[in-house]
Amino acid sequence: MDQSDVSGDIASILLTEEQLGAKLDELAAQIDKDYAGKDLLLVGVLKGAVMVMADLSRRLHTKAEMDWMAVSSYGSGTKSSGVVRILKDLDTDLTGRNVLIVEDIIDSGLTLSWLVANLRSRGPASVEIAAALRKPDAAKVDVDVRYVGFDIPNEFVVGYGLDYAERYRNLPFVATLAPHVYS
Ligand code: XMP
Ligand code: MG
């Protein structure tokens, strides 16, 4: 196989494009119901949320604006510490807005709980969270995620926005990587 082809790096596919799409249909229908008669500001967290933002927002009938934030969590290695730095802030004033944070994955939940507190301090009407994926550790933190796509095992996954060393974000599915990728 061509060394530049990613398919040799995939160990197993956890969620197919079809499964992700079907789940987003459900989440979008729920969001449309919950926000009926309201305006919605979708806040995507770069870079991982790009895919779920594109796919979820296209399924909504609710009038929605989109804005983006980039944050970096200080931590040792792969674990986030909950100490967060804003790399790119929103362009939008949140006063009176109904904010829906759109995330790729919640692991420890520390980044997200910081983000929710930060956005709440800006005077919005509401702040809720939609996440494509959730890992088991998220249960340890008191962060209420209104819309969850899939609960997944505590394994490192890539694809559908998620990266390993900035690669694999463009895969249309969620997968685990073959051991040779890490060595
Ligand atoms: P928290 O604060 O919830 O951080 O621990 C969530 C962030 O951690 C990253 N993360 C992953 N990235 N595959 C990835 O590519 C994974 O399996 C994974 N688990 C956590 C991700 O950046 C997320 O926003
Ligand atoms: Mg990442």
Mean pLDDT estimate for the chain: 93
Instruction: Please check the confidence at residue 165 and state whether its pLDDT lies above 70.
Output: yes
User: What mean pLDDT comes out for the span 132-154?
Assistant: 91
User: What mean pLDDT comes out for the span 20-48?
Assistant: 97
Tell me if 108 CB under 6 Å of ligand 1: yes
Compute, in angstroms, the gap from residue 48 CA to the centroid of ligand 1.
9
DSSP 134-168: E-GGGGGS----SEEEEE--SS--BBTTB-BTTBS
Q: Is residue 98 part of a domain?
A: yes
The confidence score (pLDDT) of residue 81 equals: 67
The answer to whether residues 92 and 120 touch, using CB atoms and an 8 Å cutoff, is: no
Identify the CATH number of the domain in which residue 109 sits: 3.40.50.2020
- Among candidates 61, 127, 129, which has minimal Cα distance to 96? 127
If one compares 74 and 55, the residue with the highest pLDDT of the two is 55
The confidence score (pLDDT) of residue 72 equals: 87
**52, 80, 173: which to mutate for ligand 1, most atoms within 8 A of CB?**
80
**How far does Cα 77 stand from its chain's mean position?**
20
Tell me if 14 CB under 6 Å of ligand 1: no
Q: Is residue 8 part of a domain?
A: no
The confidence score (pLDDT) of residue 132 equals: 98
Rounded to 10 deg, the angle between the 17-34 and 50-57 helix axes is 60
The confidence score (pLDDT) of residue 78 equals: 60
Q: Is residue 16 part of a domain?
A: no
Instruction: Please check the confidence at residue 76 and state whether its pLDDT lies above 70.
Output: no
Q: Is residue 81 part of a domain?
A: yes
User: What mean pLDDT comes out for the span 67-81?
Assistant: 76
Q: What domain range is 134 assigned to?
A: 21-147
User: What mean pLDDT comes out for the span 123-145?
Assistant: 91
Instruction: Please check the confidence at residue 89 and state whether its pLDDT lies above 70.
Output: yes
Instruction: Please check the confidence at residue 75 and state whether its pLDDT lies above 80.
Output: no
